[in-house]
Structures are given as structure tokens and as C-alpha cells.
Structure 1
């Protein structure tokens, strides 16, 4: 009998570790998203690697990183289950909103041209 309870505790402990890893992965993606976007646009010689809004990276060389990371984060937030019902709802809302930002970025107006450069520099 003690073998089954130890096995159950081990599975529970593994599940907790995987949730900690999931939360850590979400945090790392969110933290490094802006750095990855800037670095990509800078290394690929974008006209202006600093954007007014993070959504403006949708129209740059960092398009794939922007959309991909937000969709991955949306999926991770959608599958994450918190400690209570309120945390679950917030997590699900964050997941939906992350995917919506990836699908519907800010408008193109102001992305390029003299107005864009004057605002930043």
C-alpha cells in the first residue's frame, strides 16, 4: 500500500513541477519578446528597429516572432489552470487577448515614413 501512495505523491509532485515549468516558460517568453523583436529587426537592417508600439513589429521583419510568440503564449495561458476559478478566468482571458493581438495588430498608419521617424527621433 505504501508503494501506491508514494507513486501517487510522485505523480502529483511531477504535475506540480510541470506547472511551475509552464509558468516559468510563459514568463520567459513574455520577458524576452520585446528583446527578440528588437534584435531581429536590428540584425535584419530594418529602417527603424525601435517601434512605437509592440504591435508595429507585425509589419516588420519580426512578424513571425511576434505572431508565433503571442499564439504560443495564448495557448499556454488557455491551458493553464490556476488555484481558483478567478485565476482560471483571468488566464483564459489573457490567452484569448494574446491571440487577438496577434491576429488584429495596431493599424499600419504611422508605421513607416517621415511621421514615424520624426516621432522617434
Structure 2
């Protein structure tokens, strides 16, 4: 009997060749899929820049970046940080929700649940932060909440790396940008290793901590992988990569996808 994991596939829905026919339900489904990819990619690219900008607008004193992206919970950009991660989590939770036997669905679901945990379970307050602890921190302790926070962050980032490799496998089979997705996956893993090594060895670059640099690199690599696919929606031209395309008559006769 095949295990549930072995039954998962990297193949998703049959992709129309032309995304401009809005009367075709398959086109509408594909465009919805691409819209999620586009939005998630844009959010990933812009998040570090927007957090810094908003924090700088309300910060009293010298302007600098925080020690990590998670540290923006304890800043003037808190609402933006929490809201953006929750929106991203909801998009990931609903990504390919109708196709539960795919690696995409399960990896994005795990990533979505994990990033919501990152948003709602904050890291410890910095020494200079004057605000009170959150109710969860007061009840469970700041260190315990921060431990769960970083566990969720690790699961989130590693799930995103795995998704990049899934995209690469599919693009290798059906045409697209397998090398780009593979590079993004490797960059995410390298960024995690950099941040982890920075906890042991000083890898800070001036006032940019290794943790912050690793997080930003991972988020940008993740955003790039998702954004590349979503660009097809902007151009609305025949698809070149991603899920398998609708078979042509000749390929259907040969039994190929």
C-alpha cells in the first residue's frame, strides 16, 4: 500500500496555453493561481523595505534597521508586520487548496500555518522597548513564546525552500525556469545557514546583523521564485512554465502531458 507521502505529486492542474480567453473556466482558474503567486511574490520582495520605511517614519532618534525582521513586532511597524504575515499565511493556506494530493498544497499549508505563528507569537522584547509584554508573553513567558516563534520561522523558511525545489522539478518537466527556482531554494538554505552560523561567529556587516541579512536574503529569494511565475498574469500571454499545459492533439495521442 502506497504511503500518503509517496502519493503526493508535483503535477498540478492542466494549464491552458493561452490565458487571454476569459470565457474558459480553466483560464480563470489558472489566472487565480497566478494572482496568488504574484501577490505573494510582491509581498516577499517589498516586506523588508516597507518595514524599514514605516519604522523610520515613526522612529524617534537615529534611523537604522532592527536586528531581525521579527524585531519589527516591537516597533512602529508592528501592525504592518503582523498584518502582512497573516495575509501571506492565508494566501499560502488557500494555495491550490482544491488539489490536496500535491506537494505544493501541503508545503504551502505548512508554511502558511507557520508564518501565522511567526506573526502572532512574537520574539522577546529588546531591552530598550518600553511597552508591556503581550498577553501570551505574560502567561507563558517571553522566552517560551520566542522559542515557538523561532521554531515557526524555521518551519516556514524550510517549507519555502522545499517549494522552490518543487517548482524546479515541475519546470524541468514542462518547461520554464528550473534553474532559477533551484537557485532560489539553495539561497534560502544558505541564508538559514548564514543566520545560524552568525549565532556562533560574528558575521555582522556593520549594523546589519547576520540574522537580519539571512532573513532578508531568504525572503527575497522566496519572493523572486513566486514572482517569476506570477509575471505570466501581467503579460497574459501563452504560458511558458509552471503547471503542465493543456496537451496538444498530437501529444494527447501519444499519451504525453
TM-score (norm 2): 0.39
Is 2:123 aligned against 1:106? yes
In the superposition, relative to structure 1, how do residues 40 and 18 fare at CA in structure 2: closer, same or farther (>3 Å)? same
How far 1:111 moved relative to its partner? 6.0
Task: After superposition, give the CA deviation of every residue in 1:37-62 in whole Å (9 maximum; x if it has no partner).
Answer: 00001112344440111010000000
- Cα distance, 1:87–1:111 mapped onto 2, change above 3 Å: farther
Structure 1 residues 14 and 46, CA, compared in 2 at 3 Å: closer, same or farther?
Answer: farther
- The residue number in structure 1 matching 2:53 is 39
Q: How does 1:1-121 map to 2 (within 5 A)?
A: 10-47=24-61, 48-81=63-96, 85-110=102-127, 120=207
Q: State the shift of 1:105 in Å.
A: 2.1
Higher helix share: 1
| Alpha-carbon distance between aligned partners in 1 of 2:95 and 2:34, rounded to the nearest angstrom | 10
* Contact 1:74-1:94 within 8 A present in 2 as well: yes
Structure 2 residue runs without a partner (length 5+): 1-20, 130-205, 209-257
Shift of the alpha carbon at 1:88?
Answer: 1.0
Give the Cα separation in 2 of the matches to 1:32 and 1:102.
17
| Superposed CA RMSD | 2.7
CA distance in 1, matches of 2:36, 2:90: 11
SS in 2 for 1:96: helix
1:109 is displaced (CA, Å) by 3.5
Consecutive unaligned residues of structure 1, counting only runs of 5 or more, are 1-6, 113-118
Return closer, same or farther for 1:91/1:25 CA change in 2, 3 Å cut-off: same
Secondary structure of 2:24 counterpart: helix
| TM-score (normalised: structure 1) | 0.78
For the residues of structure 2 that align with 1:111 and 1:102, how far apart are their CA atoms? 21
Partner in structure 1 of residue 142 of structure 2: none
Deviation at 1:63, TM superposition (A): 0.4
